[in-house]
Amino acid sequence: MKKNDFAVRFAGEGGQGVVTSAEGYAQAATGVGYHVQTFAIFPSQIMGGPTWTQTRISTSKVLSFGDELDVLVAFNQEAYESHRDQVTEGGVIIYNSEGFELDSGGKSFGMPFDELAKSTGNTRAANMVVMGALAFLVNMPQSILEQFVAARFTRGRPNDEEIIQSNIRALTLGRNEAARSGFRLEELAPPQMPEGEQILVNGNVAVALGAYAAGIEAFIGYPISPASSILIWMEQRLVGPGRFAYQATSEIESINAVLGASYAGKKAMTATSGPGLSLMGEGLGLAWMAELPLVVVNVQRGGPATGLPTKTEQSDLMIALYPAHGDIRMPVIAPGNVEECFHGAIAAINWAERYQGPVILLSEHALSERQQNIAKPDPSKLAIEDRQVYRGANGFQRYESSELMPMPVPGHAGSYVANGSEHDGVGDTTHLGDRHIQMTNRRFGKLKLLEDGTYESSNSAASIAIMPWGGSKDPALEAYRRLAEEGEDLAWLYTMFLNPIPPALLDELRQKELVLVPELNYQGQWSSVLRSQGVKAESITQYAGLPFKVKDLAKRISDRVRIERKEGVPAV
Amino acid sequence: MSAKNPEYDFKWCPGCGDFGVRRALEGAIERRRVDMELPIENNVVVAGIGCSGNLVHLIEGPQPYGFHGIHGRSLPIAMGIKMGRPDLNVVVVAGDGDFLSIGMEHIAPQAARNLDVTAVIMDNGVYGLTKGQSSPTTVSGHVTSTTPYGKVEDVTYPLRLYLTMGVSFVASGISSKVKDLSQLITDAMNHRGFSIVHVQSPCTTYNDTYELLKGNVKKGIDPVAWDLPDDYDPTDIEAAHKTVNSDGVPLGTIFRDDQRSSFDQRIAAIAEKAKPRAVDKVIASYSI
Q: Is B265 on the interface with A (CB under 8 A)?
A: no
Contact A343, A335 (CB under 8 A): yes
B231: confidence class by pLDDT, cuts 50, 70, 90:
very high
CB atoms B276 and A240 under 8 Å: yes
A379, closest residue in chain B (CA to CA): B280
A105: confidence class by pLDDT, cuts 50, 70, 90:
low
* pLDDT at A138 (0 to 100): 84
Once rounded to an integer, what is the mean pLDDT over residues A250-265? 98
* pLDDT at A1 (0 to 100): 59
Once rounded to an integer, what is the mean pLDDT over residues B93-121? 98
A393, closest residue in chain B (CA to CA): B41
| In the predicted structure, residue A487 carries a pLDDT above the cut 60 | yes
Q: List b or e across A411-433, with b for residues whose CB sees 16 or more CB atoms inside 10 angstroms.
A: bbbbbbbbbbbbbbbbbbbbeee
Once rounded to an integer, what is the mean pLDDT over residues A440-445? 97
A375, closest residue in chain B (CA to CA): B287
| In the predicted structure, residue B3 carries a pLDDT above the cut 60 | no
Top-confidence range, A175-189, B225-239, B269-283 = B225-239
Give the total residue count for chain A: 572
Q: Which of A31, A415, A419 sits opposite B68 (nearest CB)?
A: A419
A571: confidence class by pLDDT, cuts 50, 70, 90:
low
Q: Helix axis angle, B18-36 relative to B178-190, nearest 10°?
A: 50
Q: Give the strand pairing for A198-202 and A371-375.
A: antiparallel
| In the predicted structure, residue A43 carries a pLDDT above the cut 80 | no
Once rounded to an integer, what is the mean pLDDT over residues A301-305? 95
Single-letter amino acid code for the residue at B18:
D
Q: In B, which residues are within 8 Å of A426 by CB distance?
A: 1, 5
| In the predicted structure, residue A568 carries a pLDDT above the cut 80 | no
Report the mean per-residue pLDDT for chain A: 93
* Long-range Cβ pairs for the range A118-125 (8 Å, 24+): A119/A173, A120/A166, A120/A167, A120/A169, A120/A170, A120/A173, A121/A166, A121/A169, A122/A163, A122/A166, A122/A167, A122/A169, A122/A170, A124/A17, A125/A166, A125/A167, A125/A169, A125/A170
DSSP lists the bridge partners of residue A269 as: A219, A295
Q: In A, which residues are within 8 Å of B87 by CB distance?
A: 411
Q: In B, which residues are within 8 Å of A268 by CB distance?
A: 80, 84
DSSP helix/strand/coil, A309:
coil
Q: What are the φ and ψ backbone dihedral angles of B278, each rounded to 5 degrees?
A: -65, 155
DSSP string across B191-210: SSS-EEEEEE--BTTTB--H
* pLDDT at A537 (0 to 100): 98
Higher pLDDT, A144 or B134: B134
Lowest mean pLDDT among A18-27, A210-219, A271-280: A18-27
Domains in chain B with CATH codes: 18-284 (3.40.50.970)
> What whole-number distance in Å separates Cα of residue A544 and Cα of residue A115?
37
* pLDDT at A572 (0 to 100): 58
* pLDDT at A423 (0 to 100): 96
Q: Is B269 on the interface with A (CB under 8 A)?
A: no
Contact B167, B92 (CB under 8 A): no
Alpha carbon of A487 to those of A29, A71, A476, A557, B235: distances in Å? 33, 31, 16, 13, 83
CA distance B187 to chain A (A): 21
* pLDDT at A142 (0 to 100): 82
CA distance B114 to chain A (A): 14
Q: Which of B2, B83, B286 sits opposite A261 (nearest CB)?
A: B83
The DSSP letter of residue A547 is P
pLDDT, tens digit, 9 for 90 and up, residues A309-353: 999 999 999 999 999 999 999 999 999 999 999 999 999 999 999
| In the predicted structure, residue B1 carries a pLDDT above the cut 60 | no
Residue B148 buriedness (CB in 10 A; 0-12 / 13-18 / 19+): exposed
* pLDDT at B4 (0 to 100): 61
Domains in chain A with CATH codes: 5-181 (3.40.920.10), 200-381 (3.40.50.970), 389-450 (no CATH), 456-564 (3.40.50.920)
Q: Which of B1, B56, B73 sits opposite A256 (nearest CB)?
A: B73
DSSP helix/strand/coil, A196:
coil
Q: Which of A282, A410, A430 sits opposite B85 (nearest CB)?
A: A410
> What whole-number distance in Å separates Cα of residue B279 and Cα of residue A159?
33
Which of A184, A167, A144, A108 shows the shortest CA–CA distance to A28? A144
B31: confidence class by pLDDT, cuts 50, 70, 90:
very high
Lowest mean pLDDT among A42-46, A313-317, B86-90, B121-125: A42-46
Percent of residues, chain A, with pLDDT higher than 90: 75
Once rounded to an integer, what is the mean pLDDT over residues A274-291? 98
Q: Is A192 on the interface with B (CB under 8 A)?
A: no
Q: Is A182 on the interface with B (CB under 8 A)?
A: no
| In the predicted structure, residue B2 carries a pLDDT above the cut 80 | no
> What whole-number distance in Å separates Cα of residue B8 and Cα of residue B67?
16
A418: confidence class by pLDDT, cuts 50, 70, 90:
very high
Once rounded to an integer, what is the mean pLDDT over residues B3-15? 82
* pLDDT at B106 (0 to 100): 98
* pLDDT at A363 (0 to 100): 98
Once rounded to an integer, what is the mean pLDDT over residues A29-55? 83
ipTM attached to this prediction: 0.97
A285, closest residue in chain B (CA to CA): B70
A63: confidence class by pLDDT, cuts 50, 70, 90:
confident
Q: How far is CA A426 from the centre of its chain?
A: 40
Q: Which of B67, B105, B284 sits opposite A263 (nearest CB)?
A: B67
Once rounded to an integer, what is the mean pLDDT over residues B252-261? 98
Q: Which of A23, A399, A421, A422 to mutate to test the interface with B (most CBs of B within 10 A)?
A: A421
Q: Which of B84, B277, B287 sits opposite A197 (nearest CB)?
A: B287
pLDDT, tens digit, 9 for 90 and up, residues A383-406: 999 999 999 999 999 999 988 999
A290, closest residue in chain B (CA to CA): B69
CA distance B214 to chain A (A): 34
Lowest mean pLDDT among A32-41, A127-136, A234-243, A284-293: A32-41
pLDDT, tens digit, 9 for 90 and up, residues B170-205: 999 999 999 999 999 999 999 999 999 999 999 999
